[in-house]
């Protein structure tokens, strides 16, 4: 049975045991929909099921907005990026038997849900700075919990608590990846390849050829590459899907430039595009 449900309890106990207070770093418990540490620092669980552990404001333009999340939900539900989700699920099923999966920059939890479906004994934690996105992620899977957090800050997660860290088109904090992974854990990074959605021109942010070198520099001496898979195909997007694919990502912040909004809205016929991703596997260096 597919485990994506909307009525499960928020924050499975396995997730709560792995969380740490974002103020003092102590372990936390969950009582009456409040996450609380022994020193009395507390964080309410929202009615949608996520907990906001932040105690600082996020700069404007950092988090996904409600329109961006709505566009992403519509696009992902259409199956355009399903091959990538299936590739990530296959990697997880091949390498992870149980334990916690942390999706760093999880958005709506779409990829995390596929991974948890593929590993029936694992549970998942969705971390993202967008509370709007985590309203979806908190209900994406019965074995998932969600916490609002800025990935550039030290994560409110116990050391060596994750079997798998998933990072899909999201900020990469190598020191935190390494800290939260177990010694035999796995980091899986999904990135767009040069030419991804290239047919859309400046309606999307282009991917340059130096991304691989930057990825290796980011991970530095904390990780070694174990494997890599390419996920590339041609798809035909309906006009509404073209708008969704542009509006769900960082390109949405730049549609006011150079008449892009007008050109996007003027698309009235299907468009053939290339979707191309790399899925790269890394092992932590002791």
125: closest CA among 107, 146, 111?
Answer: 146
**C-alpha–C-alpha distance, residues 270 and 239, integer Å:** 6
253 labelled as ligand-binding?
Answer: no
DSSP E strand boundaries for 63-213: 99-104, 122-128, 144-148, 162-168, 181-192
For 233-250, b/e burial (b = at least 16 CB within 10 A) is eebebeeebbbbbbbbbe
Residue 41 labeled ligand binder: yes
Sheet holding 162-168, edge to edge: 51-52, 144-148, 122-128, 99-104, 162-168, 181-192, 271-284, 223-237
CA distance linking residue 270 with residue 240, whole number of Å:
9
State yes or no: 24 annotated in a binding site: no
Q: Pick from 8, 6, 18: which is nearest to 100 by CA?
A: 18
C-alpha distances (whole Å) from 281 to each of 92, 101, 123, 136 are 10, 14, 20, 27
Whether 164 contacts 139, CB under 8 Å = no
Tokens 């309606």 belong to: 203
196 is known to lie in a ligand binding site: yes
Give the Cβ contact number of residue 61 at 10 Å.
8
Considering Cα of 84, then 266, then 204, then 106, what sign does the dihedral take? negative
Q: Annotated binding residues, as ranges?
A: 37, 41, 81, 108-109, 196
Q: Which residues are annotated as a binding site for Zn(2+)?
A: 37, 41
Binding residue numbers for S-adenosyl-L-methionine: 81, 108-109, 196
């Amino acid at each position: 049975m597919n485990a994506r449900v909307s009525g499960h309890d928020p924050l499975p106990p396995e997730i709560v045991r792995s969380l740490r207070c974002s103020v003092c770093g102590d372990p936390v418990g969950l009582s009456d929909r409040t996450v609380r540490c022994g020193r009395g620092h507390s964080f309410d669980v929202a009615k949608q099921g996520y907990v906001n552990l932040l105690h600082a404001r996020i700069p404007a333009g950092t988090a996904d907005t409600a329109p961006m999340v709505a566009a992403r939900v519509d696009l992902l539900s259409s199956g355009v990026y399903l091959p990538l989700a299936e590739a990530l699920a296959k990697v997880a099923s091949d390498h992870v038997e149980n334990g916690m999966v942390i999706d760093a920059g999880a958005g709506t939890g779409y990829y995390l849900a596929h991974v948890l479906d593929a590993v029936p004994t694992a549970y998942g934690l969705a971390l993202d700075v967008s509370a709007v996105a985590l309203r979806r992620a908190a209900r994406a899977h019965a074995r998932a919990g969600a916490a609002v957090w800025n990935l550039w800050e030290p994560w409110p997660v116990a050391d060596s608590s994750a079997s798998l860290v998933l990072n899909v088109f999201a900020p990469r904090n190598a020191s935190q990846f390494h800290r939260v992974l177990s010694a035999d854990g796995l980091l899986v990074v999904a990135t767009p390849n040069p030419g991804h959605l290239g047919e859309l021109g400046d309606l999307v942010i282009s991917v340059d050829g130096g991304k691989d070198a930057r990825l290796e520099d980011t991970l530095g001496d904390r990780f070694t590459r174990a494997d890599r898979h390419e996920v590339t195909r041609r798809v035909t997007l309906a006009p509404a899907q073209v708008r969704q694919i542009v509006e769900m990502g960082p390109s949405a912040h730049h549609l006011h430039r150079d008449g892009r909004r007008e050109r996007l809205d003027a698309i009235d016929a299907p468009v053939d595009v290339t979707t191309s991703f790399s899925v790269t596997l890394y092992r932590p260096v002791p």
